[in-house]
Amino acid sequence: MRKEAHGERLANMCSTNGLVIGGTLFKHKDIHKITWNSPNNRDKNQIDHIIIDGKWRRSLLDKRAFRGADVNSDHHLVIAKLQLKLKKVPDNNKPGRNILHVNRLKDPEIKEKFVIELRNRFRVLDEIDPTEDNSIEKKWENIKEVYQNTSEKIIGFRKSSNKQWLTSDTWKAIDERAKLKEKVLSTRSSRLNEQTQKEYSEKDKEVKKRARKDKRNHLEKRPEEAEKAAARSDLSIFYKITKKTMWTIQTTTSVKDKNGKIITTKREQAARWVEHFKAVLNRPE
């Protein structure tokens, strides 16, 4: 079977668009690869294909041609076996994993409240009738419940947010932007819609400007917070701040020439670095 020009174009198209040709994935006899016979039955070729998006590659189990299908055609029937692996729909009613805000225990006042509450609950536990279930499992359940209920009442749970550095003013601006967006979608008058869209664009610029400022202030405070954590030997906080800071740093390997064009080959990149430092350090050969 010859690979003709249109076959090469098909392969290039699939490569460019992240598609997979099913016939290239599975081993079969040639008779199960051929999809077309010429009317004189002399020429045979594989010209019918099943193409699938690359992200569904693992769902494709097999692909082959079946010569026995009586369809009155010089093309053979091509069949693929698929096994769909659908993403599980999240249960929004199921509570997520809550994390206790244990750092609040560093506050002496909160710590004292926690100890008092814990002591009172254990006193109540000691007054339980000994004739009741007194097994090891029951004792463990009671102790665990005391600690859990006390923790939830006194220190509570941490608020999960990826944007903890945003200030209240920025969140207020975000809410205002959301209301303007709803107004844009609900306004039918073209004149009012144009005015509302303009207000939304201005508010969007304000939100982004505030967010950039908040993030910049947050990043500038990190070294100071890390230094304070190290001074009081709080290695947990020090490690978290250091880890977040390292993730914030973004590196790039792109090198550009004097005209701003990206250089891709290592040889050209090395030559560009030599050129750069000669100019910066003013050291001619």
pLDDT in tens, 81-117: 988 766 665 555 555 567 887 877 878 898 999 999 9
Residue 178's alpha-carbon distances to 53, 171, 210, 262, in angstroms, are 35, 11, 16, 39
**pLDDT score at 207:** 92
For 137-186, the pLDDT digits (tens) are 888 888 899 899 999 889 888 765 556 778 888 888 998 998 888 888 78
Q: How confident is the model at residue 47 (pLDDT cuts 50, 70, 90)?
A: confident
Confidence of residue 279 (pLDDT cuts 50, 70, 90): confident
Confidence of residue 261 (pLDDT cuts 50, 70, 90): confident
Locate the domains of the chain by residue range.
5-82, 102-154, 175-248, 253-285
Tokens of 147: 């600690």
Percent of the chain past pLDDT 90, that is, above it, reads 8
| Per-residue pLDDT tens digits for 219-241 | 888 888 788 878 888 777 777 77
CA within 13 Å, CB half, 241: 18
- Each residue's pLDDT tens digit, 22-46: 888 888 888 888 888 887 777 888 8
Residue 203: pLDDT band with limits 50, 70, 90: very high
Residue 213's pLDDT band, with cuts at 50, 70 and 90, is: very high
Which whole number is the average pLDDT over 181-199? Answer: 83
Using the predicted structure, report yes or no on whether residue 72 has a pLDDT greater than 90. Answer: no
User: How far is Cα of residue 256 from the mean position of the Cα atoms in its chain?
Assistant: 30
Whether the CB-CB separation of 81 and 53 falls below 8 Å is answered with no
- Evaluate if residue 1 carries a pLDDT over 50: no
Closest listed residue to residue 179, CA positions, set 206, 199, 156, 208? 199
Tokens of 72: 């009155």
